[in-house]
A = this chain, B = another copy of it.
Amino acid sequence: MLSKNQIKYINSLQQKKFRQEYQSFVVEGAKSVVELLSSDFELESLYVTEDFYKETKPLLDKQPLRAEIVGQAELEKAGTFSSNNAALAVAKMKSNQELLLNDTEYALVLDEIRDPGNLGTIIRIADWYGIQKIICSEGTVDLYNPKVISSTMGSFTRVSLFYTDLVKYLKGQQKPIYGAFLDSENVHTLKFAPSGYIIIGNEANGISEAVGEVVTHKITIPRFGGAESLNAGIATAVICDNLRR
Given A233-B234, A238-B241 in contact, is the A228-B153 Cβ separation under 8 Å? yes
The oligomer's copy count stands at 2
Cβ < 8 Å to B, chain A residues 105-160: 121, 124-132, 153-155, 158
Cβ < 8 Å to B, chain A residues 212-245: 221-231, 233-234, 237-238, 241-242, 244-245
Check if A188 is an interface residue, CB within 8 A of chain B.
Answer: yes
Smallest Cβ distance from A205 to chain B, in angstroms? 14
**Number of residues on chain A facing chain B (CB within 8 A):** 34
Smallest Cβ distance from A139 to chain B, in angstroms? 20
A231–B124 contact, CB under 8 A?
yes
Chain B, residue nearest A189 (CB):
B245
B127–A226 contact, CB under 8 A?
yes
Majority secondary structure of chain A interface residues (helix, strand, loop or mixed) = loop
Chain B residues whose C-beta falls within 8 Å of the C-beta of A131 in the assembled complex? 225
CA distance A25 to B240 in the complex (A): 37
Chain B residues whose C-beta falls within 8 Å of the C-beta of A128 in the assembled complex? 223-227, 230
Chain B, residue nearest A224 (CB):
B130
Chain B, residue nearest A155 (CB):
B227
Chain B residues whose C-beta falls within 8 Å of the C-beta of A121 in the assembled complex? 231, 234
For this complex, 16 residue pairs linking A to B, each with C-beta atoms less than 8 Å apart, are A124-B231, A127-B226, A129-B223, A129-B225, A130-B226, A132-B225, A154-B228, A155-B226, A158-B225, A221-B241, A224-B244, A230-B237, A233-B234, A237-B238, A238-B241, A241-B242
